[in-house]
Amino acid sequence: MRLFIITTPFTGHITPTFNMAKSLTNMRHNVDYITTSQWESAIQEIGAGLIPYEHNRKLSPMIIDAYKIALSIGSQYDGIIYDELFFPGKALGNAIGIPTVRFFPCVAINEQIMTRLIHGNGFMGIFRSSFIRKRWTKEICKGLIPNVDDWTDEVVYNAPDCNIVFVPEWFQPMLSDFPSDKFHFVGPSIYNDLKAPDWLTETKQPVIYVSLGTIDNKQLRFYKNCLQVFADKDARFVLSVGNKIPIEKLGTIPSNCTIFSYAPQKKILEHADLFITHGGMNSVNEAMINGVPMLVFPVSNDQPINAERVEELGIGKTLDIKNLDGEILWESISEILSNKIILTRAKEAEDKLYNNNGAEKAVKAIISFISTLKNDHS
């Protein structure tokens, strides 16, 4: 079977697909990615190919370029696997005449969730106006994709018959809105990264890891606040601050703090006692699969929705990053580390996800779906 994966280059969108693609290539299926060249080495490592599009910052040219490339080569393939942000995925499959599978790196989206996304913070906030949504959709679809008026309607109301959601079923809000014959909640698919530092595996102190992700992480005041609070505490702190803030701007680094621009997050969480996070779905999945309780500072997009679920499930707490002071921060950290209910529920989440292999579940659903369609048409 020959498949191609269309995805945006955002870390939280592409990395959940790597184990899935690797499982497919290990089964001797051919997989090609249509994304930007920044991921070339990772894609080569999993045995897949890369057909790059040029743009890597603005979503609209990404979608246009990816659609044009896919349209020109699609007849050579047996199926399309596409990112939920690539809203014309189903229309593309219809144009080429091959099956389509959509994947969600986040929770699956229905009307209520879409409304929250476009009326919240982050890049999706520009789409709260129906006029802007329709104009933006028209600019992308002009001359390429007929009969698509509003991209949000396409995401919510025109689902393909196979959807892979890299979220546990019990984490999904409003689960009953997503029919089980179309939506496969396969859970986390964690792609291994760098080795954890040796000192981290040897320390006897509590380990507290801080990261606000890779997009809305330019939070200098927050990081300085953390360092000030952490300076005299009996714990080991690891901060990942991203590449938008030079580490020297943080000022004096306490001896019990280690700063990374990019940290080996998955390995650190294997040793962490608490994760202070923005609440991106990848980060939440990685915390849950390691039984790490969370203190969530949601910033934008789906993060407030994820933070609500973290609190509802009792595996962490949520705070507002805009109204934070050091005393509240440390009180919240201390409360979570001593709260037996939160610690127990975080461990229960880990137990539920023990040996979960989202990639294998995804591959099984994809192959079954495409094979069934092929047999029906033969």
Kindly report, residue by residue over 77-124, the tens digit of the pLDDT: 999 999 999 999 999 999 999 999 999 999 999 999 999 999 987 778
- Residue 115 sits in the same domain as residue 92: yes
- Residue 82 sits in the same domain as residue 170: yes
pLDDT band at 246 (very low <50, low <70, confident <90, very high): confident
Tokens 């997989």 sit at which residue? 31
Report the 10 Å Cβ neighbour count for 55: 15
| DSSP conformation letters of 33-91 | EES-GGGHHHHHHTT-EE---S--S-HHHHHHHHHHHHHHHGGG-SEEEEETT-TTHHH
- Residue 164 sits in the same domain as residue 216: no
How many folded domains does the chain comprise?
Answer: 2
Query: CATH number for the domain including 94?
Result: 3.40.50.2000
pLDDT band at 146 (very low <50, low <70, confident <90, very high): confident
Strands in 49-50's sheet, in edge-to-edge order, are 49-50, 30-34, 2-6, 79-83, 100-104, 163-165, 183-185
Distance of CA 170 to the CA centre of its chain: 17
Which residue range is the domain that position 303 belongs to? 198-352
pLDDT band at 161 (very low <50, low <70, confident <90, very high): very high
Q: Which residues of 337-360 are buried (b: 16+ CB within 10 A; e: fewer)?
A: bebeebbebbeebbeebeebbbbe
- Residue 215 sits in the same domain as residue 143: no
> Which pLDDT does position 179 carry in this prediction?
96
More confident residue, 12 or 214: 12
Q: Which residues contact 22 (CB under 8 A, 6 or more apart)?
A: 46, 47, 48, 359
Span 260-287, mean pLDDT? 91
In the 8-state DSSP scheme, what is residue 162? -
pLDDT band at 178 (very low <50, low <70, confident <90, very high): very high
Cβ atoms 345, 315 nearer than 8 A? yes
What size, in residues, is the chain?
378
- Residue 343 sits in the same domain as residue 362: no
Cβ atoms 51, 34 nearer than 8 A? yes
- Residue 183 sits in the same domain as residue 228: no
Cβ atoms 352, 251 nearer than 8 A? no
- Residue 130 sits in the same domain as residue 218: no
- Residue 35 sits in the same domain as residue 85: yes
- Residue 212 sits in the same domain as residue 102: no
- Residue 44 sits in the same domain as residue 127: yes
- Residue 166 sits in the same domain as residue 34: yes
> Which pLDDT does position 202 carry in this prediction?
74
Cβ atoms 296, 279 nearer than 8 A? yes
Span 232-252, mean pLDDT? 86
Cβ atoms 44, 25 nearer than 8 A? no
- Residue 36 sits in the same domain as residue 103: yes
Name the percent of the chain lying above pLDDT 90. 67
